[in-house]
Amino acid sequence: MERPALDTAAQFAQIRALVSQVHDPQVRALCDAFLDDPKLAAAFQVAPAAKGIHHAWLGGLCEHTLSVLQLGWRICDHYPHLDRDLVTAGALLHDFGKAREISPQPGFEYTDEGKLVGHLVLTCQLIREKAARIEGFPAELEWRITHLVVAHHGKLEYGSPREPATLEAMVVHALDELDTRVASFGQLMAQAEGRWTDSKNLYRRQLLKGEPRPDDARRLPGDGLYREAK
């Protein structure tokens, strides 16, 4: 599917703007190495995020990544003990390998590399390659960032080689899951002819379409539970 109104260039610029605020120079350099790679960045901006489950349209990967990034920043506002730089890196990189796993051509077929290797391993290979080119990149920092990728599916049976073992990895997994499900439910509901979807879907149950909602300007006022308002 194609989303004609999708401004991928603007979304990519928003991704860059968030990455530009990473404080750790090594984390920032690694993230920039992905965004500054002409071939990889170009593929990232046109790739779908999946073949059919969620964000299955041209530019879907960029849209999903920006959404997880924005959610990550909001969660870091609420839980100030999280490492915002690592959450940013995990949100940016968790699905980056899909730029080489899924073809943007009609049908969104998996590439040979995608079928043989998969996006988790592809992304980890890219992290290793790009970190090796950054002088003095700490080995443990590479491990921690790689863990954000290998654990983002959450469970071994869902394809994660490791389950989340850090707060940041748990957060990246949870937000990826949330964004994926919201988009997936939305796609199914948009295709429904009545108030309910049919039950022949990934979730094996009917889903009730929500009613159109007016704009909501409410925000949580005052201090947060874990951080005072500024």
User: Which tens digits make up the pLDDT trace of 112-166?
Assistant: 998 999 889 999 999 999 999 999 999 999 999 999 999 988 788 777 889 999 9
Q: Is the pLDDT of residue 172 over 70?
A: yes
What's residue 94's pLDDT?
Answer: 93
Percent of the chain scored above 70 by pLDDT?
97
Q: Is the pLDDT of residue 173 over 90?
A: yes
Predicted model pTM: 0.91
Question: CA separation (Å) from 108 to 2, 3, 49?
Answer: 11, 14, 10
Residue type at 152?
Answer: H
Q: What is the mean pLDDT of residues 184-195?
A: 89
- Please report the domains of the chain, with CATH numbers, ordered by start residue: 8-191 (1.10.3210.10)
Q: What is the mean pLDDT of residues 194-212?
A: 91
Q: Is the pLDDT of residue 3 over 80?
A: no
What's residue 229's pLDDT?
Answer: 63
Q: Is the pLDDT of residue 63 over 80?
A: yes
What's residue 44's pLDDT?
Answer: 94
